[in-house]
Amino acid sequence: MNQPIQKILIVGGGTAGWMTASYLTKALGNDVEISLIESDVVKKIGVGEATLPSLQQVFFNFLGIPEEEWMQQVNGSYKVGVKFVNWSQTPSPGRPDKSFYHIFGGMPTCEGIPLQQYWLRKHLAGETAGAMQYACYSEAALLDQKLSPVFCDRNPAMYYAWHFDAHLVAEYLTKWSTERGVNRIVDDVVEVALSPETGNIQSVLTKTGQQLTADLFIDCSGFRSLLLGKALSEPFIEMNDALLCDSAVATPVPHDDDQHGIEPYTSAIAMKHGWTWKTPMQGRFGTGYVYSSQSCSQDEATQEFQQLWNLDERQPLKHLKFRVGRTERAWVKNCVGIGLASSFLEPLESTGIYFIYATLYQLVKHWPSQALEPQLQKQFNRKVTWMFDDCRDFVQMHYFTTGREDTVFWQTNRYDLKKSDSIQEKLDLYKAGLPVGAVVSNSADYYSAFDFEFENFWSNSNYYCVLAGMGVYPDQSPPILEHNPQAVEKAEQIFADIRLRTNALAQQLPSTHQALQSLHQNHSFRAAA
């Protein structure tokens, strides 16, 4: 019988490192010795401040940490979706400012057909149907009013994710993990030794002279990719011909919540050479301009970013340069790359932290013995590769469906991007009025094996929201609707019910600011008791 894994070494801290340490500690219990080495010199990137709704279910519920507990520690706020500003050149019906929401959660259906198709039938017939997101969801109108997705008693009214301070998440999980036995080592890795017989990683040598060994090494060293990229020389597949942005300038900005409230959504604001994110939290919002260095200089991007928020020139700014793409494999020999060490996709749809816990879920699902079974590695790599490429397709789709062509950046995005066969097939399905979902060529058995909804996040409702917001619609509504007037009448009742629900919730829900204040007050009271 093969010996079980007994020692794990995680190289790198930050969000990826400490999410890995906590997840594996929970999954493996006390049978495995887990150590994490992190530098006190290397600056942490702090992957993302915006998340996806599966975070609580897949990660924090797995750890056994309730939402109200971790939110208290990380300046957490709510996120119901993404508001896209200045992307579309086609005003949505009823939205003259051309903004639109990508709303989380599934779209209602009527007799098995998404409600958007009934809306489209009315829209194509010239009937006044309003914007799709407002007709088919209650959330859009509520987001306009900055209302909370939960009541003050914590009962949810909408499907939602979170904004938070990624550095505080790392600090919180550091404490959580070390209290449960993770050995934290503060040092710098200066050398990686490989086995001459197998090519596996034998040990890492630190600046202070420690030689650290393990059965399995986890690379969480960020863009440096010390183990997977440098030591094991795993090829990196660059995708800068598919996604042009390769740089960012970022900073936190103070915010008066009492005066302006807190927005329960991320904003993605199209700029001349890319886009700017805004992730509201309590007392501030995180923001950054993601741009293409081929389109403008760092100084030009900085100036445009400062003008957007009217920033003082003395405001400290962080400048980032990143590679877009993924390693050919995330698991090589006895090393697994988590987070930026194996892949990076710009944060347009908040996939950074998602990649971390989704990869951890797959790792535990395919957990090996010391024999490092090849089939486990192969299946793990297939799933992680598909996950990244599927997200890349969804993000890329935002760029080439916009009508913008006012700068060279937007012209190139609209006409010259390299598109995968899979994204083209998805768009063809959408235009034909068919479900989009996932397209996995020659791998139907692999896709059907998926057993968590979060593994196929970018499904019909997500494509519907974004493409309709861009003014891109299916060529026609389903012809079967012309033979089913009862379904059309039933859909009208659903539209009416959505309007009633919207009006009722608008009267009942607290503002996001009020809900977060209530969360802090109630949790503090329970903790004191």
Are 13 and 28 in the same domain?
yes
Q: What CA–CA distance (Å, rounded) separates 157 from 9?
A: 42
**Is residue 390 assigned to a domain?**
no
Domain-embedded: residue 148: yes
Residue 340 marked in a binding site = yes
Would the annotation count 171 as a binding residue?
Answer: no
* Same domain assignment for residues 355 and 420: no
Q: Where a domain ends, among 321, 350, 383?
A: 321
* 85 carries a ligand binding annotation: no
pLDDT at 2: 85
pLDDT of amino acid 30: 86
Characterize 5-30 residue by residue with b for buried, 16 or more Cβ atoms within 10 angstroms of its Cβ, and e for exposed: beebbbbbbbbbbbbbbbbbbbbbee
| 106 carries a ligand binding annotation | no
149-157: long-range contacts at Cβ-Cβ below 8 A with a sequence spacing of 24 or more?
Answer: 149/78, 149/80, 149/264, 150/78, 150/515, 151/508, 151/509, 151/510, 151/515, 152/510, 152/514, 152/515, 152/518, 154/68, 154/519, 157/505, 157/508, 157/509
pLDDT at 25: 98
Tell me the pTM: 0.93
Q: Are residues 305 and 317 in the same domain?
A: yes
What residues have CB less than 8 Å from 379, skipping those under 6 apart?
366
Assign 235 to helix, strand or coil: coil
Q: What single string gives the DSSP state of each residue in 325-344? A: EEES-SEETTEEE-GGGTEE
Place of tokens 């060490």: 341
| Catalytic residue chosen out of the listed positions 7, 44, 79, 175 | 79
Residue 258 sits in the same domain as residue 186:
no
CA distance 184 to 29: 17
Do 478 and 438 fall within a single domain? yes
Whether the Cβ atoms of residue 104 and residue 81 lie closer than 8 Å to each other: yes
Residues 337, 299 share a domain: no
Whether 426 is catalytic is: no
Residues 154 and 168 in one domain: no
- Give a yes or no: residue 193 inside a domain: yes
> What pLDDT score was predicted for residue 453?
41
CA angle 208, 209, 212 (to 5 degrees): 110
385 within a domain of the structure (yes/no) = no
Domain containing 178: what range? 7-76+164-238+324-372
User: Known binder of ligand: residue 16?
Assistant: yes
DSSP bridge pairs for 318:
250
Confirm whether residue 63 is marked as ligand binding.
no
pLDDT, one tens digit for every residue, the chain (529 residues) = 589 999 999 999 999 999 999 999 999 998 899 999 999 876 655 445 899 999 999 999 999 999 999 999 999 999 999 999 999 887 666 666 679 999 998 888 999 899 999 999 999 998 877 889 999 999 999 999 999 999 999 999 999 999 999 999 999 999 999 999 999 999 999 999 999 999 999 999 999 999 999 999 999 999 999 999 999 999 999 999 999 999 999 999 999 999 999 999 999 999 999 999 999 999 999 999 999 999 999 999 999 999 999 999 889 999 999 999 999 999 999 999 999 999 999 999 999 999 999 999 999 999 999 999 999 999 999 999 999 999 999 999 999 999 899 999 999 999 999 998 889 999 999 999 887 865 443 333 333 333 444 444 456 788 989 999 999 999 999 999 999 999 999 999 999 999 999 999 999 999 999 999 999 886 553 443 3
189 is in an annotated binding site: yes
Show which of 262, 288, 321 is a domain's final residue: 321
Any domain includes 2: no
Q: Which of 512, 367, 485, 473 is nearest to 119 (CA)?
A: 473
β-sheet bridge partners, residue 4: 369
Q: Which helix (H) or strand (E) holds 436?
A: none
Asked if residues 265 and 101 have their Cβ atoms less than 8 Å apart, the reply is yes
Domain shared by 291 and 234, yes or no: no
Looking at the structure, tell me whether residues 234 and 334 fall in a common domain: yes
Model pLDDT, residue 275 = 98
What is the SS3 assignment for 349? helix
Domain assignment present for residue 41? The answer is yes
One domain for residues 437 and 497: yes
What CA dihedral angle connects 80, 82, 85 and 91, to 10 degrees? -80
491 in any annotated domain: yes
192 and 212 housed in the same domain: yes
Three-state DSSP class for residue 453: helix
In a domain, 333, yes or no: yes
Amino acid at 108: P
Overall domain count for the chain = 3
Tell whether residue 15 is among the known ligand binding residues: yes
* Annotated binding residue 353: yes
Query: Are 213 and 171 found together in one domain?
Result: yes
Count Cβ atoms within 10 A of the Cβ of residue 128 and give its class: 0-12 exposed, 13-18 middle, 19 or more buried: exposed
Tokens 């906590």 belong to 22
Q: Residue 245's closest CA among 301, 316, 287, 303?
A: 301
What CATH number should be reported for the domain holding residue 194?
Answer: 3.50.50.60
